[in-house]
Chain A
Amino acid sequence: MKKRGFWSFAALIAGFTVYFMLNEPGTAQAMHIMEGFLPVGWAVFWWVAFLPFFVLGIIRLRSMTRENPELKLLLGLAGAFTFVLSALKMPSVTGSSSHPTGTGLGAVMLGPLPMGVIGSIVLLFQALLLAHGGITTLGANAFSMAVAGPFAGYAVYKLMMKLPDREKLALFCAAAVADLMTYVVTSFQLAVAFPAADGGVLASFLKFGGIFAVTQIPLAISEGLLTVLLWNWLKSYSPNEMSLLKRKVKGGNA
């Protein structure tokens, strides 16, 4: 079994090596939408689309921590994980860098709504201090990273937990999908704001998606692996805490 694991791992590396060698490097950066780079109408639209989730997230967070003060620790953990991962700008196959989002873990542990609040705090920090993303585009960026990503990850986790004994695979996929979905939505947001002269929204979407989402694929895999790593670590120290949270996730409706 150990041997087989090793060989499939070696095959994976060989596959990636070929992929990297054949891949054409691009020049664009895959990250959040820059300050001022959404037309006013769309910037406002995404702010309006995001705010209800933020309010629901706050309500959910308050009721969660009131019922279960122990969850505060896991909340801190989920937030910290997002903080670390979104600070890691990793080189990717397209020849540009991007960073993972880290929202999948929290979405699985606490449900998608609290991540709407945690994710937007991280984005605000980056927009204010790092000129990364922006205040005008915060609504759009928060919608993709703090709302769409966690919800997609959570849905994947829920679906895959129907399979027997596939918890870690489910976690991996949830984290990877949450990460990837963030940038698919970013591509969509840019595409509807900047439809191509010929081909319209779809052509733009393919163009932005080709850059943003493709760059993100290896990062999504990295994020999935890192999430499972932290999960393993958590589990070895705290079987109780995890089961408490499982009950919470199963019982909760968010």
Chain B
Amino acid sequence: MMSNKWKNGLMLLAVVLLCVLPLLFVSGDFGGADDAAEGVITEINPEYEPWFKPLTELPGETESMLFALQAAIGAGVIGFSLGLLKGKQGQAKQNSISK
């Protein structure tokens, strides 16, 4: 059997490749905004007018900052939880030894 470390490493590599390979081999603009979705809609129904505008339109830089913030908050909470679990496990081991 492959060790868990190996498997985890390969899985991470696969995730990275799934991102990198399209960038290398597909020539698209990889636009991050969802603006172009309206292209398909206007193609089907040229008269359609969006009836509601987003409440806030932040500059692109601020938007990417907020996306980074979103990921950072999530990663922080995941790290905290894993740390807590690991600490609990260590404590339980110590308790069972001292008993």
Q: Is B21 an interface residue (CB 8 A)?
A: yes
CA distance A125 to B7 in the complex (A): 35
- Report the stretch among A29-37, A50-58, A149-157, A158-166 that lies at the interface: A29-37
CA distance A195 to B94 in the complex (A): 64
Known: A5-B10, A95-B29, A130-B58. A33 touches B37 (CB 8 A): yes
User: Which of B12, B48, B63, B78 has the most chain A CB within a 10 Å cutoff?
Assistant: B78
Residue of B nearest to A208 (CB): B40
For the complex, would chain B's binding face be called helix, strand, loop or mixed by DSSP majority?
A: helix
Residue of A nearest to B63 (CB): A130
Residue of B nearest to A84 (CB): B74
Known: A5-B2, A29-B35. A130 touches B67 (CB 8 A): yes
Residues of A near B8 (CB, < 8 A) are 229, 232
CA distance A208 to B36 in the complex (A): 12
Residue of B nearest to A24 (CB): B26
User: Residue A84 contacts which of B39, B48, B71 (CB distance < 8 angstroms)?
Assistant: B71
In contact, B77 and A79 (Cβ under 8 angstroms): yes
5 additional contacts (CB under 8 A) given A21-B25, A40-B51, A79-B74: A27-B36, A32-B34, A35-B50, A35-B53, A91-B26
List the interface of chain B (C-beta within 8 A of A): 1-2, 4, 6-8, 10-12, 14-15, 17-19, 21-41, 44-45, 48, 50-58, 63, 66-68, 70-71, 73-78, 81-82, 84-86, 88-89, 92
List the interface of chain A (C-beta within 8 A of B): 1-2, 5, 9, 12-13, 16-17, 20-21, 23, 25-37, 39-40, 73-74, 76-77, 79-97, 125-136, 190, 194-197, 204, 207-208, 211, 218-219, 221-222, 225-226, 228-230, 232-234, 236-238, 240-241
Show 18 A/B contacts (Cβ-Cβ < 8 Å), sorted by A. A1-B1, A9-B14, A12-B14, A20-B25, A25-B28, A27-B29, A28-B37, A34-B37, A83-B70, A95-B22, A131-B56, A133-B34, A197-B44, A225-B12, A229-B11, A237-B89, A238-B89, A240-B92
